[in-house]
Homo-oligomer: A and B are copies of this chain.
Amino acid sequence: MKKFEEKTVHTESIYKGKVISLQVDDVSLPDGNTSKRELIKHPGAVAIIPITPEGKMVFVEQYRKALERSVVEIPAGKLEPGEGPDETAKRELEEETGYTTESLEFVTSFSTSPGFADEIVHLYLAKDLKKAENKLDGDEDEFVELIEASLQEAEEMEREQRIWDAKTAYALLYVKLKGLMS
């Protein structure tokens, strides 16, 4: 998977942040010319499709500064150093929703913005949800509100653009196609 490879001629690190880093690479193209690529490094993330025993899906509403609005999303969170995606998924599910599960099933992984970022989201399906006995605390700068919704209610939130991001849009098509909420 190296077709049309763009080899790095020079890398300039512009910024190293808490979550993302930015570098600008000079690359040599297949025709011998050169170009610049502005690249964001991100640790990667997990997202979870949580389905309650009552057949509802669990969402979190939170403010997304990048969009300057709140968005209703499936629970998600960044990978921490030394933590595998399965562990992150269980931790984020509990921190954000207060649910635990013994039934965590890997669905797929995808790149969110291949044009400029290396972020990969690993998507899981969580069934047989149980209320955690002692809920884990989430990040102290995260304010989220839980929403449990039927498929019909979720699709209504999507039409109203309260649901507005790729991983959650994917999740809704996935549960519909697999008949997971009927």
A160 to chain B, nearest CB (A): 9
Instruction: Let me know if B116 and A20 touch, CB within 8 A.
Output: yes
Cβ contact of A115, chosen from B14, B64, B141, cutoff 8 A:
B64
**Which residues on B sit within 8 Å (CB–CB) of A30?**
143
Interface status of A111 (Cβ within 8 A of chain B): yes
**Which residues on B sit within 8 Å (CB–CB) of A167?**
166
Interface string of A138-178 (1 = CB under 8 A from B): 00110111000000000000100110111101100110110
| Stretch binding the partner chain, chosen from A33-41, A79-87, A95-103, A129-137 | A33-41
Cβ contact of A114, chosen from B27, B67, B143, B174, cutoff 8 A:
B67
A69 to chain B, nearest CB (A): 4
Interface status of A18 (Cβ within 8 A of chain B): yes
Instruction: Let me know if A110 and B66 touch, CB within 8 A.
Output: no
The 8 closest A-B pairs by CB, nearest first: A173-B173, A35-B141, A4-B63, A4-B143, A37-B65, A166-B166, A3-B70, A64-B114
